Structure 1
Amino acid sequence: MHTTIYFIRHADSHFVLGKERERPLSEEGVLAAGKLVSSLQNVHFDAVFSSPYKRAIQTLDGLVDPVDIILEEDLRERTLKGPYKLTAEEIDLAIKQSFENVDYCLDGGESVRQVQYRALPVIFGILENQNYNTVAIGTHGNIMTSIINYFDDTIGYSFWKSTKKPDIHKLVFNSFHLISIKKITF
């Protein structure tokens, strides 16, 4: 049985330190999310899952009734570090290192492997459920890349760096085997 999962990376949201869960989409993010959702209107989703973070949920607005979105705490974004500041270059380097060594993480952060252990039971549950042929997941760049990396270890830093806000990646599975990945343009 084939299962198709649309990983939908959230639209633009202004970063606010310590406000990961409640950060809303920016005005441009709301507009971009609307275009994304319009591009998927002809796709029938058997279920829609999401990170519990506001920006991921808002990006799905209009795809389904919000009460039908299944919030999964284990699909939250990867914690990159503790509550201290780093430059953008230091964060970028740490992300690159984490995909080269999936056990690497900054102090107070999660490694790629830790994120996979957290999120993959949700993905496996989707793949096992015979009622789910086509599913959407509202997600974030780092956790999406970490999940896909489990199924294809060539997916890592370069893939993450190439993603946009918002973005859609359509993955097709045969049971637990990844068959294809396609970036959907809109």
Structure 2
Amino acid sequence: MNTIVYLIRHAESPYIAGMELERGLSLKGQQDAERVRLMLHNKKIDHFYSSPYARAILTIKPLAEECGQDILPLDDLRERIIGDIAGTGFYEAKRLVYQDFTFSFPEGESSETAQKRGIRIVEGLLKRHAGQCIAIGTHGDIMTLLLNRYDRQYGFEFWQSTSMPDIYKAEFNGLLLKRVTREWSEHS
């Protein structure tokens, strides 16, 4: 009996320093949240979970409302904090934390630590909702780290290739990842 997990990366959100938790969606992000709803509206999704960040919740909210479901925010699905990367460019900083999973910048979180907290949640959901369909509002790093736990091909290059929003369908048999397919299309 397969369990389906839709990992839905948040839509475009304007960067506002110090507002990580509260940042909403841009106008384009709001339109893309509607496109997420349209792309998945014919799927029977039994449960909705999300990062507690507003941009992740708002991206899946139209779909959850259409399905008549509440969204349960879970703190351990939050985005990884990269930390103080002074003197290092953003993409170089990301490359470094993917290159060495134990490395972290000051006040930041390593890939290993972020992956462990996310996997603990996802594996709990897989056990609790075996055979059902789950949607998770997430972030680029956490989505990449979750998939990486099951298949090492998901790393820095994958993270770099993802869009905002993005949708990946992960099919599990128990805790074993069987298949991953990209469901998002920029042209839909």
The TM-score, its normalising length taken from structure 2, stands at 0.91
Check the 8 A contact 1:7/1:138 in 2, yes or no.
yes
Partners of 1:166 and 1:73 in 2: how far apart?
Answer: 20
Is the alpha carbon distance of 1:37 and 1:80 closer, same or farther for their aligned partners in structure 2, counting shifts above 3 Å? same
Report what 1:29 is aligned to.
29
64, 71, 92: which one pairs with 1:69? 71
Is the alpha carbon distance of 1:147 and 1:131 closer, same or farther for their aligned partners in structure 2, counting shifts above 3 Å? closer
Partners of 2:179 and 2:104 in 1: how far apart?
Answer: 29
Partners of 1:148 and 1:86 in 2: how far apart?
Answer: 29
RMSD after superposition: 1.7
Partners of 1:130 and 1:34 in 2: how far apart?
Answer: 26
Partners of 2:176 and 2:16 in 1: how far apart?
Answer: 37
Report what 2:52 is aligned to.
52
**Helix, strand or coil at the partner of 2:157:** helix
Residue deviations 1:116-162, cap 9 Å, x none?
Answer: 12111110111112455110000000111111111111210011000
Detail structure 1 runs of 4+ shifted over 2 Å in the superposition: none
- The aligned runs of 1:84-163 (5 Å cut-off) are 86=86, 90-130=89-129, 133-163=132-162
Check the 8 A contact 1:126/1:132 in 2, yes or no.
no
Report what 1:176 is aligned to.
175
- The aligned runs of 1:7-18 (5 Å cut-off) are 7-18=7-18
Check the 8 A contact 1:5/1:136 in 2, yes or no.
yes
Partners of 1:71 and 1:32 in 2: how far apart?
Answer: 20
Is the alpha carbon distance of 1:69 and 1:81 closer, same or farther for their aligned partners in structure 2, counting shifts above 3 Å? same
Partners of 2:146 and 2:48 in 1: how far apart?
Answer: 17
Check the 8 A contact 2:51/2:76 in 1, yes or no.
yes
Shift of 1:70: 1.0
Shift of 1:62: 1.5
Shift of 1:67: 6.7
Partners of 2:95 and 2:3 in 1: how far apart?
Answer: 30
The TM-score, its normalising length taken from structure 1, stands at 0.92
Partners of 2:128 and 2:111 in 1: how far apart?
Answer: 25
Q: How many correspondences in the alignment?
A: 183
Structure 1 window deviating more from structure 2 (94-103 vs 72-81): it is 94-103
Report what 1:165 is aligned to.
164
Is the alpha carbon distance of 1:86 and 1:32 closer, same or farther for their aligned partners in structure 2, counting shifts above 3 Å? farther
Identity %: 36
